[in-house]
A and B are shown apart, each in its own frame.
Chain A
Amino acid sequence: MIVHSIFFYFFSIIAIFSSLMVITSRSTINSVFFLILDFISVGCLFIMVGAEFLGMILLIVYVGAVAVLFLFVVMMLNVAEQKQSWFIGKKSTHIPTGLIVSVLILLELLVVVGGWKYKEDVMSSSTLVLSNISNTHQLGLVMYTDYILYFQLAGVVLLLAMIGAILLTFRERVGVKKQSYFTQISRNPSTAVELKDVKSNEGVKLDD
């Protein structure tokens, strides 16, 4: 047991330290790297309590995909310029907004944790009692039966976010030639080659 707690404190100290570094570090790139470290150590904590499926999914989704995109965006932005306009500029509107959002999140967390106190059977759903099956199976049994509506709704929310992102960034470019694989492959000599009689001293107009 003592080894277990040593590992627990090891991972949780790393998690807390790296989440502090995310918000205090000067360079944005370093913040993202510490965010990745934070995700990984939280994933390890999940695995330590026996929720290996959640831990691995956290690694795959957050570290393998989301954080890569974060890193991508941060590397593309001009970081030094951003920093000046955020903190040294005269009108700093970001800090009040951030404060409001973080206070709201804190309140929501309080409500959620308080909810547990009044509803005893939230933790012990019907299938979780069977503890001799792996937690991947347990999760599947609960998620696709009791909570199928919420599962589908979460999918719809993600779909909406995706459509919104596409709509925001989509712009139709005019005058750009595009390659159509289908027309390219379905060409044959009779459609591709056209013979024309060119009269002397006259040009010929070809469609292109």
Chain B
Amino acid sequence: MIEYLQILGQEVYKIVFLLVPILVSVAMIVWLDRRVWGLVQKRRGPNVVGPFGLFQTLADALKYIFKEIIIPASANKVVFILAPIVTMTLALVAWAVIPMSEELVLSDINVGILYLFAVSSLGVYGIIMGGWASNSKYPFLGAIRSAAQMVSYEVSIGIIIINVLLCVGSLNLNDIVIAQKNLWYVIPLFPMFVIFFISALAETNRPPFDLPEAEAELVAGYQTEYSGMMYAMFWLGEYANILLMCALGSILFLGGWLPIMDVYPLNIIPAPIWMISKILFLFLLFALIKAIVPRYRYDQLMRLGWKIFLPFSLIYLVFTASFLFYFEKLPKVNF
């Protein structure tokens, strides 16, 4: 029994050392997002609190902690309180399988990519629960939009993941990274990378697909009735999800923790730094797109998901499979 307690203690220690950097980096990433947004629009962005405004998010968080939490009288209290907790927990739980280097991963499970896909598809519950429990029309409309949007874009993300898996032959995230040792999948599967990136924008409700919280139509969508710490938890969960999607993109297409080329000055840089810089690169693209592209209309969004991305990724799947089969490049499974 004491053995198990020791194992448990080690795991808790590891989990704390995973979660604290993620939460801090979420705070920094919010600052980066606002800063890039400001620079694109020729504003300065947050630059007052701390050096370059780095502590702006911490100041915001402090403000949210001290604000009063208001629960609407007609709300379903249990579900209302549960919704932000679900969002944030699911966003953090997924980080357990993300490999920062070959050894630096909390749990190196066989079906890592399926686990990530499952957890990200559960993310819709936080939003539906929040929207329904608020018992008000704008949050409900936002929740309905978001549920439809996230379910439809998950389908194309799933098919894109199958494309990558066909080339790898394993569901383990470290195997996916190692399989890209010679060629990152962004080159042969470039169209899939573009579709993955756009679907990730839709999956995380980022602009130009931020219809669940379209402020011109729905006040703030499913977050309308939330205040104080509960709103901050939605916010943290959302940004942790965005980082997760960036991590997934860099594992599937940009070679994860591998260096750009396996030559001398590049391969002495430690693997986690490569991983983090790839995540940051993808996040910069996310932030730029938020500033540049106008919001889609709802029917255009659905059309894009079902009528363009889904057929195109299916056709590309057939193409990948037949290419690998014809040139006998299909991954071998050794028993």
Chain A interface residues toward B at CB < 8 A: 2-3, 29, 33, 36, 52-53, 56-57, 59-60, 63-65, 68-69, 71-72, 75, 130, 132-134, 136-137
Within the complex, which residue of B111, B118, B147 is in contact with A72, where a contact is CB–CB below 8 Å? B147
Contact present for A60 and B132 (CB under 8 Å): no
Stretch from B12-20, B119-127, B287-295 that touches the partner: B119-127
Q: Which residues of B contact A64 (CB under 8 A)?
A: 118, 121-122, 124, 151, 154
Give the size range of B's interface with the partner.
Answer: 20 to 34
User: CA of A130 to CA of B334 in the docked complex: distance in angstroms?
Assistant: 12
> Digit string of B165-194 for contact with A (CB within 8 Å is 1, else 0)?
000000100000000000000000000000
How distant is the Cα of A53 from the Cα of B158 in the complex, in angstroms?
A: 15
**Residues 306 to 335 of chain B near chain A (Cβ within 8 Å):** 333, 335
* Chain B residue with Cβ nearest A27: B76
Q: Are B154 and A75 within 8 A (Cβ)?
A: no
Closest to A179 in B: B299
How far apart sit A72 and B140, CA to CA, in the bound complex (Å)? 11
Report the 8 A-B pairs with minimum CB-CB distance, sorted nearest first: A64-B121, A56-B114, A59-B118, A60-B118, A52-B111, A134-B110, A56-B111, A56-B118
Determine whether the beta carbon of B109 is less than 8 Å from that of A52.
Answer: yes
B contact face: mostly helix, strand, loop, or mixed: helix
Which chain A positions have C-beta within 8 A of B109? 52
B115 at interface by CB-CB < 8 Å: yes
Contact A136 B111 (CB under 8 A): yes
Q: Which residues of A contact B147 (CB under 8 A)?
A: 68, 71-72
Do residues A136 and B171 form an inter-chain contact, with CB atoms below 8 A? Answer: yes
| Residue among A36, A53, A57, A75 facing the most chain B CB atoms (10 A cut-off) | A75
B61 in the interface (beta carbon within 8 A)? no
A selection of 26 A-B contacts at a CB cut-off of 8 Å is A36-B125, A52-B109, A52-B111, A52-B114, A53-B111, A56-B114, A56-B118, A59-B121, A59-B122, A60-B118, A60-B121, A64-B118, A64-B122, A68-B147, A68-B151, A71-B125, A71-B132, A72-B128, A72-B144, A72-B147, A75-B128, A75-B140, A134-B171, A136-B110, A136-B111, A137-B333
Contact with A along B1-37 (1 / 0, CB 8 A): 1001000000000000000000000000000000000
* Interchain CA distance A137-B168 in the complex, whole Å: 13
Contacts of B154 in A (CB 8 A): 64-65
Are B333 and A133 within 8 A (Cβ)? yes
Question: B115's contact among A56, A65, A132, A137, by CB below 8 Å, is which?
Answer: A56
- Chain A residues contacting B151 (CB-CB under 8 Å) are 64-65, 68-69
Q: Say whether B117 faces chain A, with CB atoms less than 8 Å apart.
A: yes
Q: Which residue of A lies closest to B76 (CB)?
A: A29
With a cutoff of 8 Å between Cβ atoms, the chain B residues found around residue A68 in the complex are: 124-125, 128, 147, 151
Chain B CB within 10 A, most for which of A33, A68, A75, A137: A68
The verdict on A65 contacting B110 (CB below 8 Å), with A29-B132, A71-B128, A133-B335 known, is no
User: Could you tell me the distance between the alpha carbons of A59 and B94 in the complex, rounded to whole angstroms?
Assistant: 14
**Cβ–Cβ contact A53 & B114, under 8 A:** yes
The contact of B114 among A60, A65, A72, A137, by CB within 8 Å, is A60
A137 to B169, CA, bound (A): 9
A52-B128 in contact (CB<8A)? no
Q: In whole Å, how far is A182's beta carbon from the nearest beta carbon of chain B? A: 12
Give the residues in chain B near A136, CB-CB below 8 Å. 110-111, 171
> Across the interface, do B122 and A63 meet the contact criterion of CB distance under 8 Å?
yes
Which residue of A has the minimal Cβ distance to B169? A137
Q: Which of B88-102 contact A (CB under 8 A)?
A: none
Question: B118's closest neighbor in chain A, by CB?
Answer: A59
